Structure 1
Amino acid sequence: MTPSRTRGATAAAATALAAVLAAAGCGSGTDGGRQGPATPSAPAATGTGPYPVPSDAAEAAPLPAGSGGGTPKGGVPRPDDVDQTDADAVSKGALTVMRTFDTAVDRGPSDAEARAASAGWLTHAYATSLSEHRSRSAPGAQWREWAGHRAYTTAALEKTEDAAKPADTDTDAWRQWAVTTTPRGRDGWTGEPATVPAYVHLTRKAAGEAWRVDDVLFQ
């Protein structure tokens, strides 16, 4: 697995953050949180979801160096496939790309993040952070098991609600999804699905412009 950043807030802190955003409309930059193939986890909406501090960088990002650059079996969505002014559609599309792996074309789980950055789903700041924190070690035992079946994953997303989620502004939005990843071998093997909650922060420069994902926390 790749590491997951644990930056966020409790319900009280997130409520305070929403008040600050409403009063000042500003924030500081963030690093990215990420995670590779997940261990099973319940997707319940807790009401205490962590939400990152906003960043004011909202442009699409270049492909991080060292990406495998392949296309997984079945393909993945691109920003042009969705309404980019819809935070739901952009967050769902980005998460689908980030959780779709293919051992036949990827050297490890982080290549999915590189695809998301290359396609333009992410802000430049977030893509740079992911690139800087990419694992240089070999993938773990789970990836090796998948590779033995030449497996790829499919990602199914269900939107969940969180009472602590700050209200959207013209330039910042937060979304929560339950993401179920299922490995499927080209030899007919199917692995155990794993479900994790994902908290997504999106930014854009102004109302009516395209959203970009500025942070993701998989729990």
Structure 2
Amino acid sequence: MTAPGRPPRVALLAALACAVSACGVGHRAAPEATSPSPTAAISSPAPATTSSAVPRGLPDLSRLDERDATAVSKAALTLMWTVDSAIDHGQQDAYQRATPLLDSVYKAVIADEGGGGIPGQWSRHRAYAKVRLTRQIVQGDVPADTPKLAHRQWRIDVTPTGRDGWKDAPVHATAFVTLRRDGPDDPWRVSAVGTT
């Protein structure tokens, strides 16, 4: 488990890389991860055929309550972890879909790190990452939410799923999300994500 304040640089699909037994697509952690709290959600993109398409099943950002730290953290993680070999060149494409929910510092971290490529096995099966998030109680010595700072913790289950019926073993991770905002009426933005 990643301790709050410790800067983990874990790759998501580096975790998936092990499960997919090809090369994974990498999920980045934040410059600084702090703990969080619990709920459940499922996202599974439907087939897409063009490179300009966006996976279906992703959160609708136009309907997102950006004053709800839990909703923002869940939407950001879903976007970051939903990689689709039919339309994405790599993990970076998924991260780019999440940038509206990230603060400027974390956007720069994402841009600097790049992303892993799509595993060949995924491409052969036109696979996507079927993502399920379950909110958890924040573990460890983490301060309570304030009007400008919040922490959330999620269990992430990712199942590589091919459009031809192929499935690989699910990959599991825990994500610690730190969110910040300027004032109590401003929207929450993700400022760090750490994974174990």
TM-score (normalizing by structure 1) = 0.67
Deviations 1:66-102 (A, max 9, x none): xx76412x24113332211111111011101111010
Please tell me the residue identity of whatever aligns with 1:107. Answer: H
Q: Give yes or no for the alignment of 1:98 onto 2:80.
A: yes
Please name the residue that 2:135 is paired with.
159
Partner of 2:183: 206
Q: Higher strand proportion, which one? A: 2
Unaligned runs of 5+ in 1: 1-5, 11-30, 42-49, 53-67
1:81 aligned to 2:59? no
Kindly report which structure 2 residues correspond to 1:1-219, keeping only aligned pairs within 5 A, or say none: 8-9=4-5, 33=9, 35-37=11-13, 38-39=15-16, 51=34, 70-72=53-55, 74-117=56-99, 120-135=100-115, 139=117, 143-161=119-137, 162-219=139-196
Give per-residue Cα distances to partners, 1:166-216, cap 9 Å, x unaligned.
211111111110010111111111111111000000011101221011111
Q: Percent identity?
A: 35
Distance 1:34 1:122, change over 3 A: farther
Gaps of 5+ in 2: 20-32, 36-50
The count of corresponding residues between Structure 1 and Structure 2 is 164
1:169 to 1:69, Cα distance in 2 relative to 1, 3 A: farther
**For residues 164 and 8 of structure 1, what CA distance do their matches in structure 2 show?**
8
**Counterpart of 1:129 in 2: which secondary structure?**
helix
The alignment's TM-score, normalised by the length of structure 2, stands at 0.74
Residue 157 of structure 2 aligns to a residue whose secondary structure is strand
The 1-side partners of 2:156 and 2:57 are apart by 17
Q: Highest Rg: 1 or 2?
A: 1
Alpha-carbon displacement from aligned partner over 1:101-160 (angstroms, at most 9, x marks no partner): 10011111221101111xx1111211111101114xx627xx221111000112111111
